[in-house]
Chain A
Protein backbone atom coordinates (compact mmCIF):
# COMPACT_ATOMS: atom_id res chain seq x y z
CA UNK A 1 0.00 0.00 0.00
CA UNK A 2 2.81 2.42 0.87
CA UNK A 3 4.35 1.85 -2.52
CA UNK A 4 1.17 2.56 -4.47
CA UNK A 5 0.54 5.77 -2.54
CA UNK A 6 4.10 6.88 -3.12
CA UNK A 7 3.83 5.96 -6.79
CA UNK A 8 1.06 8.55 -7.03
CA UNK A 9 3.62 11.15 -5.96
CA UNK A 10 2.63 11.53 -2.32
CA UNK A 11 5.28 11.16 0.35
CA UNK A 12 4.24 8.49 2.82
CA UNK A 13 5.67 7.42 6.15
CA UNK A 14 5.06 3.84 7.26
CA UNK A 15 4.56 3.40 11.01
CA UNK A 16 4.85 -0.28 11.87
CA UNK A 17 6.40 -2.67 14.34
CA UNK A 18 7.89 -5.34 12.06
CA UNK A 19 10.40 -3.21 10.16
CA UNK A 20 11.69 -6.09 7.98
CA UNK A 21 8.20 -6.42 6.46
CA UNK A 22 8.11 -2.71 5.77
CA UNK A 23 11.50 -2.96 4.05
CA UNK A 24 10.28 -5.93 2.00
CA UNK A 25 7.14 -4.15 0.81
CA UNK A 26 9.23 -1.18 -0.26
CA UNK A 27 8.45 1.61 2.20
CA UNK A 28 10.96 4.45 1.98
CA UNK A 29 10.26 6.34 5.21
CA UNK A 30 9.81 3.95 8.13
CA UNK A 31 9.12 4.76 11.78
CA UNK A 32 9.36 1.66 14.03
CA UNK A 33 6.50 1.41 16.52
CA UNK A 34 5.74 -0.23 19.87
CA UNK A 35 4.04 -3.58 19.32
CA UNK A 36 1.99 -5.41 16.70
CA UNK A 37 -1.44 -5.13 18.41
CA UNK A 38 -0.83 -1.56 19.62
CA UNK A 39 1.72 0.14 17.35
CA UNK A 40 0.99 3.63 18.69
CA UNK A 41 0.26 2.89 22.31
CA UNK A 42 1.22 0.90 25.33
CA UNK A 43 -1.58 -0.39 27.54
CA UNK A 44 0.92 -1.09 30.34
CA UNK A 45 1.43 2.60 31.12
CA UNK A 46 -1.04 5.31 32.15
CA UNK A 47 -3.24 6.95 29.52
CA UNK A 48 -1.48 10.30 29.87
CA UNK A 49 1.99 8.85 29.45
CA UNK A 50 0.71 6.68 26.62
CA UNK A 51 -0.55 9.72 24.71
CA UNK A 52 2.86 11.37 25.13
CA UNK A 53 4.48 8.25 23.69
CA UNK A 54 2.09 8.36 20.72
CA UNK A 55 2.75 12.05 20.23
CA UNK A 56 6.48 11.42 20.11
CA UNK A 57 6.06 8.73 17.46
CA UNK A 58 3.74 10.87 15.34
CA UNK A 59 6.14 13.81 15.57
CA UNK A 60 8.91 11.54 14.38
CA UNK A 61 6.70 10.45 11.47
CA UNK A 62 6.02 14.08 10.54
CA UNK A 63 9.70 14.94 10.59
CA UNK A 64 10.33 11.88 8.39
CA UNK A 65 7.80 13.28 5.90
CA UNK A 66 9.72 16.55 5.87
CA UNK A 67 13.07 14.83 5.32
CA UNK A 68 14.60 14.25 1.91
CA UNK A 69 15.55 10.57 1.73
CA UNK A 70 17.42 8.49 -0.77
CA UNK A 71 16.30 4.90 -0.71
CA UNK A 72 14.82 3.17 2.31
CA UNK A 73 15.33 4.96 5.61
CA UNK A 74 14.51 3.82 9.10
CA UNK A 75 13.72 6.76 11.39
CA UNK A 76 14.58 5.20 14.73
CA UNK A 77 14.79 7.08 17.97
CA UNK A 78 17.91 9.22 18.16
Chain B
Protein backbone atom coordinates (compact mmCIF):
# COMPACT_ATOMS: atom_id res chain seq x y z
CA UNK B 1 0.00 0.00 0.00
CA UNK B 2 1.64 3.18 -1.15
CA UNK B 3 1.28 6.39 0.80
CA UNK B 4 -0.36 9.48 -0.56
CA UNK B 5 1.75 11.92 -2.55
CA UNK B 6 2.70 14.85 -0.32
CA UNK B 7 2.03 18.20 -1.97
CA UNK B 8 2.88 21.66 -0.68
CA UNK B 9 0.81 24.60 -1.86
CA UNK B 10 2.19 28.16 -2.25
CA UNK B 11 -0.25 31.08 -1.93
CA UNK B 12 -0.09 34.86 -1.62
CA UNK B 13 -1.63 36.84 1.25
CA UNK B 14 -4.90 37.26 -0.58
CA UNK B 15 -5.60 33.64 -1.49
CA UNK B 16 -3.98 32.65 1.80
CA UNK B 17 -6.86 34.50 3.48
CA UNK B 18 -4.67 36.96 5.36
CA UNK B 19 -5.83 40.15 3.65
CA UNK B 20 -5.54 42.49 0.69
CA UNK B 21 -2.91 45.02 -0.32
CA UNK B 22 -2.54 46.25 3.26
CA UNK B 23 -1.12 42.79 4.14
CA UNK B 24 1.01 42.39 0.98
CA UNK B 25 4.19 43.11 2.97
CA UNK B 26 3.83 39.99 5.13
CA UNK B 27 6.85 37.66 5.40
CA UNK B 28 6.47 33.96 4.54
CA UNK B 29 4.94 31.52 7.02
CA UNK B 30 3.47 28.05 6.78
CA UNK B 31 0.36 26.28 7.93
CA UNK B 32 -0.27 22.51 7.96
CA UNK B 33 -2.93 21.22 5.56
CA UNK B 34 -4.76 23.20 2.90
CA UNK B 35 -5.85 26.84 2.91
CA UNK B 36 -8.29 28.67 0.59
CA UNK B 37 -8.11 27.26 -2.96
CA UNK B 38 -6.10 24.35 -1.53
CA UNK B 39 -9.39 22.76 -0.59
CA UNK B 40 -10.35 22.44 -4.25
CA UNK B 41 -6.94 20.95 -5.04
CA UNK B 42 -7.29 18.44 -2.21
CA UNK B 43 -10.66 17.41 -3.61
CA UNK B 44 -9.27 17.12 -7.15
CA UNK B 45 -6.36 14.97 -5.90
CA UNK B 46 -8.78 12.45 -4.37
CA UNK B 47 -6.97 9.58 -2.70
CA UNK B 48 -3.81 9.98 -4.72
CA UNK B 49 -2.31 13.07 -3.09
CA UNK B 50 -2.79 15.36 -0.12
CA UNK B 51 -1.80 18.91 0.67
CA UNK B 52 0.58 18.40 3.55
CA UNK B 53 1.17 22.08 4.12
CA UNK B 54 0.64 25.57 2.72
CA UNK B 55 3.23 28.33 2.54
CA UNK B 56 1.92 31.88 2.33
CA UNK B 57 3.85 35.06 1.52
CA UNK B 58 2.80 38.64 0.79
CA UNK B 59 3.20 39.68 -2.87
CA UNK B 60 4.99 42.93 -2.10
CA UNK B 61 7.36 41.20 0.32
CA UNK B 62 8.21 38.69 -2.40
CA UNK B 63 8.49 41.25 -5.22
CA UNK B 64 10.82 43.48 -3.24
CA UNK B 65 13.14 40.68 -2.05
CA UNK B 66 12.86 37.95 -4.67
CA UNK B 67 16.04 36.08 -3.70
CA UNK B 68 15.63 36.26 0.05
CA UNK B 69 11.92 35.46 -0.09
CA UNK B 70 12.59 32.46 -2.34
CA UNK B 71 15.10 31.07 0.18
CA UNK B 72 12.71 31.62 3.08
CA UNK B 73 9.78 30.01 1.27
CA UNK B 74 11.92 27.04 0.21
CA UNK B 75 13.01 26.48 3.82
CA UNK B 76 9.36 26.36 4.90
CA UNK B 77 8.41 24.03 2.03
CA UNK B 78 11.24 21.66 2.96
CA UNK B 79 9.67 21.01 6.39
CA UNK B 80 6.87 19.07 4.70
CA UNK B 81 9.18 16.74 2.70
CA UNK B 82 7.17 17.37 -0.48
CA UNK B 83 6.79 15.11 -3.51
CA UNK B 84 5.03 17.87 -5.43
CA UNK B 85 4.65 21.66 -5.37
CA UNK B 86 1.55 23.53 -6.48
CA UNK B 87 1.75 27.33 -6.66
CA UNK B 88 -1.17 29.71 -7.15
CA UNK B 89 -2.78 29.91 -9.66
CA UNK B 90 -1.75 33.55 -10.05
CA UNK B 91 -4.01 34.48 -13.02
CA UNK B 92 -2.87 37.92 -14.27
CA UNK B 93 -1.37 39.17 -10.98
CA UNK B 94 2.20 40.19 -11.83
CA UNK B 95 3.93 40.04 -8.46
CA UNK B 96 2.10 36.83 -7.56
CA UNK B 97 3.04 35.27 -10.91
CA UNK B 98 6.69 36.05 -10.35
CA UNK B 99 6.52 34.64 -6.83
CA UNK B 100 4.87 31.43 -8.05
CA UNK B 101 7.43 31.09 -10.84
CA UNK B 102 10.42 31.75 -8.60
CA UNK B 103 9.21 29.32 -5.92
CA UNK B 104 8.52 26.63 -8.54
CA UNK B 105 11.92 27.08 -10.18
CA UNK B 106 13.72 26.87 -6.83
CA UNK B 107 11.72 23.87 -5.61
CA UNK B 108 12.35 21.97 -8.85
CA UNK B 109 16.05 22.65 -8.53
CA UNK B 110 16.38 22.00 -4.79
CA UNK B 111 14.09 19.00 -4.36
CA UNK B 112 13.87 17.63 -7.91
CA UNK B 113 10.07 17.41 -7.62
CA UNK B 114 7.37 18.26 -10.16
CA UNK B 115 6.20 21.88 -9.90
CA UNK B 116 2.94 23.18 -11.32
CA UNK B 117 1.52 26.67 -11.31
CA UNK B 118 -1.14 28.50 -13.30
CA UNK B 119 -1.10 31.93 -14.98
CA UNK B 120 -2.73 34.06 -17.62
CA UNK B 121 -0.44 34.14 -20.70
CA UNK B 122 0.29 37.88 -20.29
CA UNK B 123 1.48 37.49 -16.69
CA UNK B 124 5.16 38.59 -16.62
CA UNK B 125 5.89 35.42 -14.63
CA UNK B 126 5.20 33.36 -17.76
CA UNK B 127 8.10 34.68 -19.81
CA UNK B 128 10.38 34.54 -16.80
CA UNK B 129 9.66 31.01 -15.63
CA UNK B 130 8.03 29.00 -18.43
CA UNK B 131 11.23 27.02 -18.90
CA UNK B 132 11.45 26.11 -15.21
CA UNK B 133 7.87 25.27 -14.32
CA UNK B 134 4.75 23.76 -15.78
CA UNK B 135 2.45 26.77 -16.12
CA UNK B 136 -1.17 25.89 -16.81
CA UNK B 137 -2.92 28.55 -18.87
CA UNK B 138 -5.67 30.25 -16.84
CA UNK B 139 -8.09 33.11 -17.29
CA UNK B 140 -7.17 36.65 -16.33
CA UNK B 141 -8.91 36.71 -12.97
CA UNK B 142 -9.84 34.49 -10.05
CA UNK B 143 -13.10 33.76 -11.86
CA UNK B 144 -10.99 31.21 -13.73
CA UNK B 145 -10.29 29.22 -10.55
CA UNK B 146 -12.88 26.54 -11.21
CA UNK B 147 -11.40 25.76 -14.62
CA UNK B 148 -7.77 26.04 -13.52
CA UNK B 149 -7.79 23.71 -10.50
CA UNK B 150 -8.77 20.46 -12.27
CA UNK B 151 -6.24 21.10 -15.06
CA UNK B 152 -3.43 21.86 -12.62
CA UNK B 153 -4.29 18.89 -10.41
CA UNK B 154 -4.49 16.50 -13.34
CA UNK B 155 -1.18 17.68 -14.79
CA UNK B 156 0.48 17.45 -11.35
CA UNK B 157 -0.63 13.86 -10.87
CA UNK B 158 0.52 12.91 -14.37
CA UNK B 159 3.94 14.38 -13.61
CA UNK B 160 4.16 12.59 -10.27
CA UNK B 161 3.32 9.30 -11.97
CA UNK B 162 5.99 10.00 -14.57
CA UNK B 163 3.51 10.00 -17.45
CA UNK B 164 4.38 11.90 -20.64
CA UNK B 165 2.72 15.30 -20.96
CA UNK B 166 1.97 17.60 -23.84
CA UNK B 167 1.26 21.36 -23.73
CA UNK B 168 -1.82 21.22 -25.97
CA UNK B 169 -3.38 18.13 -24.38
CA UNK B 170 -2.57 19.05 -20.79
CA UNK B 171 -3.33 22.77 -21.04
CA UNK B 172 0.02 24.20 -20.08
CA UNK B 173 2.13 26.86 -21.75
CA UNK B 174 4.90 25.41 -23.88
CA UNK B 175 8.22 25.16 -22.09
CA UNK B 176 10.12 25.25 -25.35
CA UNK B 177 11.38 21.67 -25.01
CA UNK B 178 11.78 19.67 -28.20
CA UNK B 179 11.32 15.93 -28.07
CA UNK B 180 12.59 13.58 -30.76
CA UNK B 181 10.16 11.19 -32.35
CA UNK B 182 9.82 9.18 -35.56
CA UNK B 183 7.32 10.74 -37.94
CA UNK B 184 5.36 8.68 -40.44
CA UNK B 185 6.41 10.87 -43.35
CA UNK B 186 9.72 12.45 -44.09
CA UNK B 187 10.30 16.19 -43.77
CA UNK B 188 10.10 17.08 -47.48
CA UNK B 189 6.68 15.45 -47.79
CA UNK B 190 5.40 17.18 -44.67
CA UNK B 191 6.71 20.53 -45.89
CA UNK B 192 5.04 20.21 -49.30
CA UNK B 193 1.77 19.18 -47.68
CA UNK B 194 1.95 22.18 -45.40
CA UNK B 195 2.66 24.48 -48.34
CA UNK B 196 -0.28 23.09 -50.32
CA UNK B 197 -2.58 23.62 -47.35
CA UNK B 198 -1.31 27.16 -46.99
CA UNK B 199 -1.74 27.95 -50.69
CA UNK B 200 -5.26 26.58 -50.70
CA UNK B 201 -6.12 28.72 -47.70
CA UNK B 202 -6.53 25.80 -45.30
CA UNK B 203 -5.27 25.82 -41.76
CA UNK B 204 -1.85 24.35 -41.01
CA UNK B 205 0.27 24.03 -37.90
CA UNK B 206 3.97 24.75 -38.08
CA UNK B 207 6.27 22.15 -36.57
CA UNK B 208 8.65 24.80 -35.37
CA UNK B 209 7.04 27.99 -34.10
CA UNK B 210 9.48 30.89 -34.24
CA UNK B 211 10.17 32.55 -30.91
CA UNK B 212 8.82 36.08 -30.83
CA UNK B 213 11.51 38.59 -30.11
CA UNK B 214 10.20 42.06 -29.65
CA UNK B 215 13.09 44.12 -28.51
CA UNK B 216 13.42 47.81 -29.16
CA UNK B 217 16.85 49.32 -29.53
CA UNK B 218 17.71 51.89 -26.84
CA UNK B 219 16.91 55.43 -27.90
CA UNK B 220 19.94 57.67 -28.46
CA UNK B 221 21.14 59.38 -25.27
CA UNK B 222 20.02 62.91 -24.53
CA UNK B 223 22.91 65.11 -25.62
CA UNK B 224 22.58 67.83 -23.01
CA UNK B 225 20.25 67.16 -20.09
CA UNK B 226 20.62 70.74 -18.89
CA UNK B 227 18.84 71.92 -22.05
CA UNK B 228 16.45 68.99 -22.40
CA UNK B 229 12.69 68.84 -21.89
CA UNK B 230 11.91 65.80 -19.76
CA UNK B 231 8.43 64.32 -19.45
CA UNK B 232 7.04 62.22 -16.61
CA UNK B 233 4.89 59.18 -17.36
CA UNK B 234 3.66 56.61 -14.84
CA UNK B 235 1.83 53.31 -14.70
CA UNK B 236 1.41 53.93 -10.97
CA UNK B 237 -1.95 55.65 -11.35
CA UNK B 238 -1.13 59.16 -10.12
CA UNK B 239 -4.04 61.46 -11.03
CA UNK B 240 -5.45 64.78 -9.83
CA UNK B 241 -7.47 64.44 -6.63
CA UNK B 242 -10.87 62.95 -7.34
CA UNK B 243 -9.62 61.03 -10.41
CA UNK B 244 -11.45 63.26 -12.94
CA UNK B 245 -11.14 60.78 -15.83
CA UNK B 246 -12.22 57.90 -13.62
CA UNK B 247 -9.27 55.74 -14.59
CA UNK B 248 -10.12 52.24 -13.36
CA UNK B 249 -8.20 50.77 -10.42
CA UNK B 250 -7.49 47.67 -12.50
CA UNK B 251 -7.69 46.79 -16.21
CA UNK B 252 -7.54 50.51 -17.05
CA UNK B 253 -9.46 51.40 -20.21
CA UNK B 254 -7.67 54.71 -20.69
CA UNK B 255 -4.77 56.96 -19.76
CA UNK B 256 -4.89 60.54 -18.50
CA UNK B 257 -2.98 63.66 -19.51
CA UNK B 258 -2.63 66.23 -16.74
CA UNK B 259 -1.36 69.78 -16.65
CA UNK B 260 1.57 70.59 -14.36
CA UNK B 261 1.57 74.33 -15.11
CA UNK B 262 2.18 76.08 -11.79
CA UNK B 263 2.39 72.78 -9.88
CA UNK B 264 5.50 72.73 -7.69
CA UNK B 265 4.77 69.76 -5.48
CA UNK B 266 2.19 66.96 -5.45
CA UNK B 267 0.36 66.71 -2.13
CA UNK B 268 -2.50 64.78 -0.57
CA UNK B 269 -4.62 67.84 -1.34
CA UNK B 270 -3.88 67.95 -5.07
CA UNK B 271 -3.23 64.41 -6.28
CA UNK B 272 -3.79 60.75 -5.42
CA UNK B 273 -3.33 57.30 -6.90
CA UNK B 274 -6.09 55.46 -8.75
CA UNK B 275 -4.11 52.19 -8.74
CA UNK B 276 -5.78 49.23 -7.07
CA UNK B 277 -2.81 46.85 -7.17
CA UNK B 278 -0.70 48.18 -4.33
CA UNK B 279 -1.30 49.68 -0.90
CA UNK B 280 -2.23 53.30 -1.77
CA UNK B 281 -1.49 54.83 1.65
CA UNK B 282 2.03 56.07 0.82
CA UNK B 283 1.23 57.40 -2.65
CA UNK B 284 -1.89 59.19 -1.39
CA UNK B 285 0.05 60.74 1.49
CA UNK B 286 2.68 62.13 -0.89
CA UNK B 287 2.19 61.41 -4.62
CA UNK B 288 5.78 62.59 -5.31
CA UNK B 289 6.74 59.13 -4.01
CA UNK B 290 5.50 57.78 -7.35
CA UNK B 291 5.72 60.82 -9.64
CA UNK B 292 8.67 63.00 -8.57
CA UNK B 293 7.34 66.44 -9.54
CA UNK B 294 8.88 68.18 -6.51
CA UNK B 295 12.48 67.26 -7.31
CA UNK B 296 11.97 67.79 -11.05
CA UNK B 297 10.92 71.37 -10.27
CA UNK B 298 14.00 71.86 -8.08
CA UNK B 299 16.26 70.46 -10.81
CA UNK B 300 14.56 72.70 -13.37
CA UNK B 301 15.15 75.77 -11.19
CA UNK B 302 18.78 74.81 -10.64
CA UNK B 303 19.32 74.36 -14.38
CA UNK B 304 20.12 70.64 -14.09
CA UNK B 305 17.39 69.99 -16.68
CA UNK B 306 16.08 72.33 -19.36
CA UNK B 307 12.50 71.96 -18.28
CA UNK B 308 9.85 69.61 -17.03
CA UNK B 309 7.30 68.94 -19.78
CA UNK B 310 4.04 70.74 -19.07
CA UNK B 311 1.91 67.59 -18.97
CA UNK B 312 2.31 64.27 -17.28
CA UNK B 313 0.65 61.07 -18.45
CA UNK B 314 -0.71 58.34 -16.21
CA UNK B 315 -2.50 55.05 -16.36
CA UNK B 316 -3.01 52.15 -13.99
CA UNK B 317 -0.77 49.19 -14.76
CA UNK B 318 -2.78 46.58 -12.90
CA UNK B 319 -4.09 43.68 -14.94
CA UNK B 320 -4.16 46.07 -17.88
CA UNK B 321 -3.72 44.08 -21.08
CA UNK B 322 -0.47 44.32 -22.98
CA UNK B 323 -2.39 45.37 -26.10
CA UNK B 324 -4.00 48.30 -24.29
CA UNK B 325 -0.78 49.38 -22.59
CA UNK B 326 0.88 49.41 -26.00
CA UNK B 327 -1.86 51.53 -27.49
CA UNK B 328 -1.79 54.06 -24.63
CA UNK B 329 1.99 54.33 -24.77
CA UNK B 330 2.02 54.73 -28.56
CA UNK B 331 -0.50 57.59 -28.26
CA UNK B 332 1.48 59.16 -25.43
CA UNK B 333 4.74 58.82 -27.38
CA UNK B 334 3.25 60.49 -30.43
CA UNK B 335 2.17 63.48 -28.33
CA UNK B 336 5.53 63.68 -26.59
CA UNK B 337 7.46 63.61 -29.86
CA UNK B 338 5.10 66.24 -31.30
CA UNK B 339 5.66 68.45 -28.25
CA UNK B 340 9.45 68.33 -28.65
CA UNK B 341 10.18 66.28 -25.53
CA UNK B 342 13.76 64.95 -25.43
CA UNK B 343 13.54 62.20 -22.84
CA UNK B 344 11.07 60.37 -20.63
CA UNK B 345 11.12 59.15 -17.03
CA UNK B 346 8.56 56.38 -16.64
CA UNK B 347 7.82 55.25 -13.10
CA UNK B 348 6.14 51.98 -12.14
CA UNK B 349 4.89 50.58 -8.88
Contact = CB atoms under 8 A, between A and B. Distances in A.
Interface of A: 1-18, 20-22, 24-26, 28-29, 33, 35-41, 43, 47, 50-51, 54-55, 57-59, 61-63, 65-71, 73
A10 to B, nearest CB: 5
A7 B294 CA distance: 28
B216 interface: yes
A1 B285 CA distance: 26
B280 interface: yes
B129 to A, nearest CB: 10
A5 B214 CA distance: 14
A40 B347 contact: yes
Interface stretch (B36-44, B80-88, B180-188, B218-226): B218-226
B298 interface: yes
A37 B295 CA distance: 19
B301 to A, nearest CB: 12
A73 B217 CA distance: 12
B333 A10 contact: yes
Interface in B325-344: 325-326, 328-330, 332-334, 336-337, 341-344
Given A1-B317, A41-B286, A43-B285, A6 B219 contact: yes
Contact of A26 (B64, B66, B214): B214
Contacts of B50: none
Interface of B: 21, 24, 60, 63-64, 66, 94-95, 98, 124, 127-128, 214-225, 228, 230, 233, 235-236, 278-283, 285-286, 288-292, 294-296, 298-299, 304-305, 315, 317, 325-326, 328-330, 332-334, 336-337, 341-349
Contacts, number: 202
B216 A11 contact: no
6 contacts: A12-B219, A17-B63, A37-B349, A39-B289, A51-B294, A62-B304
A65 B348 contact: no
B232 to A, nearest CB: 10
Given A41-B282, A55-B298, A61 B336 contact: no
Q: Nearest 4 CB-CB pairs, A to B?
A: A41-B289, A11-B219, A4-B329, A8-B333
Given A5-B346, A66-B221, A66-B222, A21 B282 contact: no
Given A26-B214, A55-B298, A61-B345, A39 B290 contact: yes
A25 B124 CA distance: 8
B329 A58 contact: no
A4 B317 CA distance: 15
Contact of A54 (B64, B225, B294): B294
Contact of A5 (B290, B299, B336, B348): B336
Contacts of A54: 288-289, 292, 294-295
B178 to A, nearest CB: 23
Contact of B333 (A5, A37, A62): A5
